[in-house]
Amino acid sequence: MTSEHIYKFFADYIYKHSGIYYKESDFYRLDSRLNTMMKSLSCATVEDLHKAYTTNVTKDMHSLLINIATNNETYFMRDNKPFLTLVNKVIPEILANNKSLTKLSIWCAGCSTGQEPYSILMSIAHKCTPDVLTKTEITATDISTDALSKAKKATYDGLDVQRGLPAPLLVKYFIKESDEAWRINDTIRSRVTFGEFNLLTDNFPASKYNIIFCRNVLIYQDKDNRKSILEKFYKALVPGGVFFMGSGESVIGLGLDFKQEIIDGTLVYKKPA
């Protein structure tokens, strides 16, 4: 049985480097992650694993722990409403208010294995005029290097494409490489730039993005970190920019400057123009 001090060490390490918070009552959730790390590093016991991380943490060991600690649950068109609101109302409003806009800049933060940024682009390609896709550029970031590796490959298996992806979009925007491999076509793929980014410690750009998606990510942060990150997202938006969170997330009680608005049943957060 894992000792309390070992649980606390790894929980503190994860919190310090990612902001992901494990309460003492949730320490048991680390068991499977510690077992995976033991196998990867050929440690016979959890005590050996603990000793390795308290003696000399290499870059690969750090990446292994952060990759395992993050929750990369995602799928295409997850909670479909935000994508419909984006293409039917949000993007048309932004373009109408910015007639000279030549680049629609979107940040997809906590992009995991890429389904969300690709869903955004497929929605734009499917519902908007061709020129909108041409001027759209997405920056997609995540803390997990493993997740980003899959996202960059843009190749998904049968289970991936069966979860949430309408058949017409699969036919139109994917290339079938084998019975169990579908790759996003280059028209969609070319509009995304993937990169590693730590929401807790990295520097946010100022007034850069028209739209930011960060859904089902901040739920794993404590209140103080959540407020700090959201303040930086606010500054990263251009005036009039729009921020999307997950349906189970909110800014209530955080004292932020976002203006809340419900559009077609989707709660969005705006930076006043």
- Domain segments of the chain: what residues? 4-69, 81-270
Cα separation, 162 vs 160, in Å, equals: 6
Pairing of strands 104-109, 181-184: unpaired
CATH code matching the domain that covers 81-270, chosen among 3.90.1150.10, 3.40.50.150, 1.10.357.10, 3.20.20.70? 3.40.50.150
Task: Classify residue 60 as exposed, middle or buried by CB count within 10 Å of its CB (0-12, 13-18, 19+).
Answer: exposed
Q: How many CB atoms lie within 10 A of CB 156?
A: 25
Sheet containing 155-156: give its strands across.
155-156, 181-184, 174-178
- For the chain, what is the largest distance between any 2 Cα atoms, rounded to a whole number of angstroms? 63
* Residue 214 and residue 110 in contact, taking contact as beta carbons nearer than 8 Å: yes
* Residue 90 and residue 244 in contact, taking contact as beta carbons nearer than 8 Å: no
Counts of helices then strands in the chain (DSSP H, E): 13, 10
* Residue 69 and residue 20 in contact, taking contact as beta carbons nearer than 8 Å: yes
Classify 201 as helix, strand or coil: coil
Instruction: Identify the bridge partners of residue 211 per DSSP, sorted by sequence position.
Output: 106, 242
| Residues counted in the chain | 273
Angle at which helix 31-40 crosses helix 46-55, to 10 degrees, equals: 70
* pLDDT, one tens digit for every residue, the chain (273 residues): 578 999 999 999 999 999 998 889 889 889 999 999 999 999 999 999 999 999 989 999 999 999 998 888 899 999 999 999 999 999 999 999 999 999 999 999 999 999 999 999 999 999 999 999 999 999 999 999 999 999 999 999 999 999 999 999 999 999 999 989 999 999 999 999 999 999 999 999 999 999 999 999 999 899 999 999 999 999 999 999 999 999 889 888 898 999 999 999 999 999 998
Whole-prediction pTM: 0.92
* Residue 164 and residue 76 in contact, taking contact as beta carbons nearer than 8 Å: yes
